[in-house]
């Protein structure tokens, strides 16, 4: 296992601990959860840097890195919904976008296309992580939680729409075999 995959594996392994600390629902546990979540989220940049700088980009890493991010965000949000700290609709918007973009990327792979993360997707991830840390952290930061979470939702929707628009010409605008043979347009 190369260094980048090791960092990704560590990120994945922190998810149960973060979820447990959030669900303990004490101030001390939440500070620990916020710190652990922040550290885990920060490793997303580290594993990508390690893979690229060492020439160790792998298929496993390309699959596990975004999966780790989605599991980290989803796990934390589900716990926050359970505690009543984040509305379920926000969590559903974020998780639905993640599944939709992942599905789009899987379709693209079958067409030998790569849909890389863009700057809007990176801004989305950053805003989600900041909003989640603010939601997990005890009361001193909760006043900022709503605007941060709403910004994360807006960037989540915009980045998801951007990926679909970006992929539209390359994936969906191609003529299907039925159309080329004389089927309905």
What's the pLDDT tens digit per position in 61-83? Answer: 777 888 899 999 999 999 999 99
User: Which among 44, 174, 167 is positioned nearest to 106, based on CA atoms?
Assistant: 167
Does the pLDDT of residue 174 top 60, yes or no? Answer: no
Q: Read off the pLDDT of residues 3-59 as tens digits, 9 standing for 90 and up.
A: 889 999 999 999 999 999 999 989 999 999 999 999 999 998 888 888 888 887 877
**Is residue 53 within 8 Å of 7, Cβ to Cβ?**
no
pLDDT band at 185 (very low <50, low <70, confident <90, very high): very low
The whole-number pLDDT of residue 170 equals 74
**Paired tokens of 113:** 């296309």
The whole-number pLDDT of residue 142 equals 62
**Is residue 13 within 8 Å of 71, Cβ to Cβ?**
no
The whole-number pLDDT of residue 183 equals 40
Total-model pTM: 0.85
Long-range (24+ apart) CB contacts under 8 A made by 166-170 are 166/115, 166/118, 167/104, 167/108, 167/113, 167/115, 170/108, 170/111, 170/113
Does the pLDDT of residue 180 top 60, yes or no? Answer: no
Q: Read off the pLDDT of residues 76-104 as tens digits, 9 standing for 90 and up.
A: 999 999 999 999 999 999 999 999 998 88
């Amino acid at each position: 296992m190369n260094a980048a995959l090791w960092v990704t594996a560590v990120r994945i392994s922190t998810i149960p601990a973060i979820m447990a600390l959030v669900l303990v629902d004490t101030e001390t546990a939440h500070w620990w959860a916020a710190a652990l979540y922040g550290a885990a989220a920060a490793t997303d940049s580290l594993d990508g840097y390690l893979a690229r700088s060492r020439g160790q980009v792998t298929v496993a890493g390309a699959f596990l890195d975004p999966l780790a991010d989605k599991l980290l965000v989803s796990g934390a949000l589900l716990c926050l919904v359970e505690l009543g700290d984040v509305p379920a609709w926000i969590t559903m918007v974020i998780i639905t976008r993640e599944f939709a973009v992942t599905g789009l990327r899987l379709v693209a792979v079958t067409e030998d296309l790569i849909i890389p993360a863009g700057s809007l997707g990176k801004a989305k991830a950053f805003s989600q992580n900041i909003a989640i840390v603010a939601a997990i952290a005890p009361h001193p930061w909760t006043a900022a939680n709503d605007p941060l979470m709403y910004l994360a939702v807006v960037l989540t929707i915009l980045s998801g729409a951007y990926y679909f628009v970006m992929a539209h010409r390359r994936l969906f605008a191609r003529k299907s075999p039925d159309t080329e043979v004389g089927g309905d347009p």
